[in-house]
Amino acid sequence: MRAPPALPRGTAPWLAALLLTLPCAAAEEGHGERAGFVFTPTRTALLLIPAEQATQALAQDPPAGIDPASDAESEMARDCGSAEGQVAARGLFLGAVEKAWRVLLHPLAVAVRDELLKYGTVSEATASGNYYRGATSHGTTAPNARISCVRFIRFASLDPGDTEVALDFIASVHLDPAHDAIRLRPLRLYIAHAGAKSVNGRYCIALSMSASAVWRDEFAGHEGSVFEHKVATEAVDLKSGSYLKYYPVDAPGTRVPIIPMSFGIDRSRDFGQAEFTVSVAELGVAPVTLKLLSEMLPDPDEKAGQLLIAAALSGAK
């Protein structure tokens, strides 16, 4: 995997100062050796969870710190096991503040390089399947989602025989009630062991999800990205043990495009083949790292670099 490019030189001093105030920017004095960006090998899995298989999929390789009898776990299981998602009667998560951050940071493309990149890692997993459920009768009714949730697992060991879970993330991908969009909502994040180093046990985490598909209209075939969206960012502290967070199952979430449906396809069977990918950036506190922001390298816009930016900013919430 290529190293993500970094920030332009001459990063605005006010932005560098701001990033230095984030939890993940609290650095110790002392310079370490500079090293290129190398992703640590990880073993990951991504499960696409149909509603009727939710109980089995959520019980597979259970994280050690999860209480399956807890109210929060039961509520999440009900969400993944239902055909329709729960949506709060509130506005969407769009947020003018987040939009403003994206506008300000886009030209900077942030370079968390050299020492910092020794303390950051990005892992991902991909799975494909039919998103829509086949109809039991022919008609013009709106399509129904077959996949209700996705589950990303990063295992603690590269050994396939070791099933200890280091990171576990579950998100809802229900169709919006109007069936004109998918509504992304994080449901649970569990971290027992970080995938990156940290001098003080604190980490910033950013998680994104994307989907791509191949489909055809009446005259031509198409392929491309359907959506790519940051799902969650968190600042976590693992000094005293594992981290566990449940997100509200009735949160509004974020609307993203639906999986395209091919022209003339047989809708009596499951359809809407798509490839889903979940990427997780883990950024630990490194010695004297973010002080180098004003000197970082050019050529932005690699996905891994953008996700590490989101991780760094998670402490600003």
Please check whether residue 39 lies inside any domain of the structure: yes
Taking the C-alpha atoms of residue 303 and residue 306, their distance in angstroms, rounded to an integer, is 5
Q: How many domains does the chain have?
A: 1
User: Tokens representing 217?
Assistant: 């209209």
Six-digit token string for 98? 């987040």
Of the chain, the percentage scoring pLDDT greater than 90 comes to 36
- Has residue 1 been placed in a domain? no
**Quick one: pLDDT at residue 178?**
87
Please indicate, yes or no, if residue 5 is contained in any of the structural domains.
Answer: no
Q: Which domain does 64 fall in, by range?
A: 13-316
Structure tokens at 128: 């494909």
- Using a cut of 0.85, tell me whether the model's pTM lies above it: no
Residues 279, 208 contacting (CB under 8 angstroms): yes
Mind listing the pLDDT tens digit for each residue in 57-93? 998 888 988 888 899 999 999 999 887 655 443 323 3
Q: Give domain status of residue 4, yes or no.
A: no
CA distance linking residue 277 with residue 228, whole number of Å: 9
* Contact between residue 82 and residue 55 where contact means Cβ atoms under 8 Å apart: no
In the chain, count H helices and then E strands: 6, 11
Domain contains 95: yes
Question: pLDDT by residue for the chain (317 residues), tens digit each?
Answer: 444 434 334 433 333 333 333 445 444 444 444 333 345 677 899 999 998 999 899 988 889 888 888 999 999 999 998 876 554 433 233 334 444 444 443 444 444 454 555 677 888 999 999 999 988 766 557 788 999 999 999 999 888 888 899 999 999 999 988 889 999 999 999 999 988 888 889 898 999 999 999 999 888 989 999 999 999 999 999 998 999 999 998 888 899 999 999 888 888 899 999 999 999 988 887 665 444 443 443 444 455 656 666 666 665 44
Contact 189, 234 (CB under 8 A): yes
The CA-CA-CA angle for residues 72, 78, 83, to 5°, reads 150
Residue recorded with tokens 């979940």: 278
Distance CA 33, CA 289 (A): 11
Determine the Cα–Cα distance for residues 54 and 77; give it in Å rounded to an integer: 7
Looking at the domain assignment, is residue 3 inside a domain? no
Q: Parallel, antiparallel, or unpaired: how do β-strands 165-172 and 182-191 relate?
A: antiparallel
Give the CA distances from residue 287 to residues 119, 284, 309, in Å, rounded to whole numbers and listed in that order.
9, 10, 18
